[in-house]
Each structure stands twice: as C-alpha cells, then as structure tokens.
Amino acid sequence: MNTKAVRANRQKLAVLAALVLLCAAGYMLVGVHFDNAKLFQYAMKIRFPKLIVMLITAFAIGGASIVFQSVINNTIVTPCLLGMNSLYTLIHTAVVFVAGSGSILAANANCSFAVDLVLMGVVATVVYSFLFKKTKHNVLYVLLIGTVLSSFFSSIQSTLTRVMDPNEYDSLLATLVASFSNINSEIIAISLFVLAAIVFALRRELALLDVITLGKDQAINLGVDYDRCVRRLLLGVTLCIAVATAMVGPISFLGLIIANLSRQLLKTYRHTQLILGSAFFGMIVLVGGQLLVEHAYSYTIPVSVFITVGGGVYFLYLLLTNRRT
C-alpha cells in the first residue's frame, strides 16, 4: 500500500473520529438545561454511563467483526453466527422460567451480567477451543457448529416461552431486546477489564492478521502457527461478542454493517486501520441512533430495531453486489 493511500486513510479515520466526537457531544448536550445546575448534573450522571457503554459495545463488536470476517475469509458473515446471541436469549429465558422474574439472578443486574458472561465464556471456550482441535482446525466446521448451536439454543428458548407463565414472559421480553435506556454503570469497569485482557492476550495474533488473511498455506510458509492463531482469534471474537451482548443485549446486524462500511471506505488490508474504522462507525451508529431514539422518538423504539431493519437491507445489498462482482 503506497504512502498516498495510507495518508488518505488516516485522513478518513480522522474525519470518523471527529464525527464520533460530534455525536458524543450532541448526545451529552442536546436537551440539557444549562441554567439549572442540579438538572445539568443529573443529566450528565444519566447520560455519561450510557455513552461509555455505547463506545465499549461499538469497539467490541466492530473489532470482533473485522477479525471474524478475516479469519473466515468472507465479508458478508457476522459474529452472530457463533451463537452468542441465541445463547444470551436462552440464558435469560431459562433463568426466568426456572427461578422467576423476581429472583436475584433475574432482578439483580450485576448477577445477571455475571451469569451471562460466565456461561457464554465457558461455551465459547469449549466450542471454539476444544472442538476446533477435534475438527482438525477446520474453520468451516466450527462455523457450522456455531450455526447449529444457534438453532438449537433458539429451539429450546422457543419451547420454554411457550410453556412459560404469560406474566413472566412479559417481564422477560424487555431483557431480550438490546437497549441503552437502563445501563448498569457498575459493570463498565468489569467489561473494560475483560476487553483489555482479551486484547492483551491476543496482541501477537492480532499483529499477524494481515498475514493470516493471505491464506493458510501462505501464512504457514511465512512462519505463522496458523491453527493456533485462528483458534485463539475465534475464542477472542466470541468472548468480545459475549461481553457486548451481556452488557446491552443482542444486536445482530451491527457487526455486519460497520465492518463492511469500514472495508468499503478504507479499501486496505491493514487490520489496524480496518478495526479502528469499524469501531468508529459503530460508535457513530450507536450514539447517533440513541440520540435519535431519545429526542425524536421519545424512547418508543429501541435503537436495535433500526439497526436490525437497516442491517437486513444492507445484507441484501451486499449479497447482490458480491454476486455481480
């Protein structure tokens, strides 16, 4: 990649960063009563944790989506195929079904987050570490396992909801839709720590992503332990999605949207730029979307609904354009 293209991409990333700051400033300041100190402090206390959670979620999903697409070598796949979204809905449904909506596991946000993170982390470790070895390091088999598990988890969750008490089901529905309206600020530090630990543990594998995308044979010829790197990267992707899902709920198409927008804008193989661009796009979508939801729709429609509808249309567009090319 020539110097001119690198400089152009840096300028594009700078523009995206400026848009993120603009969206963040708009979200924090629009509709705030500056003439009343108490109301201003209350607004900042409510909005700041939401903003941090949206930024964390965008970074986790954006980075995981780019890495997942590069490992799978397909730009129209999304990490939700790994089954974490379906597992999240199954966990919450099972907790309400067994213990009830008034139990500490369902009512306490910290306990609920801990249960989600531990169970999804255990499943991710078993499926994308142990089974990856059993399938002789075949990425497509692992992807197939994730798809089958998604259907399996969804089937169990659907069965439980059919026999569940209607009142319990009404209380469950609110937790199955991604929302930034009620954020538990106590889990922010834990989420940041987990994501930082994942990035630190995978720093060598992330540095080798540019080589891994060349293909297995080429990467091995260049001295890369391909199977080990891919196994660790898949595990890291799944854990990042688990953290993001445990924080706000399932957002199916966000990774697909922001990862492909980053690829189309930057047109580079450098994953440092692609991951940063994807994270910036995610922050713009989430923060800008939440700003629209709160001030234009008065919280009547969650931002995840707009992402799902827009993601479905964008997915069809990608299918049609890739087929033509």
Question: Each residue of 304-316: pLDDT tens digit?
Answer: 788 888 888 888 8
Name every residue whose Cβ is closer than 8 Å to that of residue 160 and which is 6 or more positions away in sequence.
90, 93, 94, 97
Is 9 part of a structural domain of the chain? no
Gyration radius of the chain's alpha carbons: 20
User: What pLDDT sits at residue 223?
Assistant: 86
| pTM value surpassing 0.85 | yes
Domain that holds residue 285: 57-324
Q: Is residue 185 part of a domain?
A: yes
pLDDT in tens, 170-222: 778 777 777 777 677 778 888 899 999 999 999 999 889 989 888 888 888 98
Q: Do 60 and 240 touch, CB atoms closer than 8 A?
A: yes
CATH of the domain at 210: 1.10.3470.10
Residue-level length of the chain: 325
Residue 56 token pair: 């964390």
| Average pLDDT, integer, range 237-250 | 85
Would residue 45 count as lying in a domain?
A: no
Residue 25: pLDDT band with limits 50, 70, 90: very high
CA distances from 119 to 61, 74, 112, 140, 283 (A): 19, 28, 11, 24, 27
Report the number of distinct structural domains present in the chain: 1
- For residues 134-139, give the mean pLDDT: 72
The reply to whether 278 falls in a domain is yes
Is 65 a domain residue?
yes
Q: Give 306's Cβ-side CA count (13 Å radius).
A: 16
Residue 80 has pLDDT above 80, yes or no: no
Greatest CA separation found in the chain?
66
CA distance 238 to 228: 16
pLDDT at 73 over 90: no
In a domain, 158, yes or no: yes
- The three-state secondary structure class of 300 is coil
Whether 101 and 168 have beta carbons less than 8 Å apart is answered as: yes
> 3-state secondary structure string, 81-116?
HHCHHHHHHHHHHHHHHHHCCCCHHHHCHHHHHHHH
Q: How many percent of the chain have pLDDT more than 70? A: 97
**Cα(285)–Cα(279) distance, rounded to whole angstroms?**
10
With tokens 């990467």, the residue in question is 219
Q: Is the pLDDT of residue 107 over 80?
A: no
Report if residue 201 sits inside a domain: yes
Please report, rounded to a whole number, the percentage of residues in the chain having pLDDT higher than 90.
23
Name the nearest CA neighbour of 24 among 56, 66, 55. 55
What is each CA distance from 252 to 63, 84, 310, 317, in whole angstroms? Answer: 15, 10, 11, 17
User: What string of DSSP letters covers 162-193?
Assistant: HHS-HHHHHHHHTTSS--SSS--GGGHHHHHH
Task: Assess whether pLDDT exceeds 80 at residue 290.
Answer: yes
Would residue 31 count as lying in a domain? no
Decide if pLDDT at 122 tops 90: no
Q: Confidence band (pLDDT; 50, 70, 90) for 26?
A: very high
| Phi, psi for 27 (deg, rounded to 5) | -65, -40
Query: Is residue 152 predicted with pLDDT exceeding 60?
Result: yes
Assigned token pair, 248: 């706000």
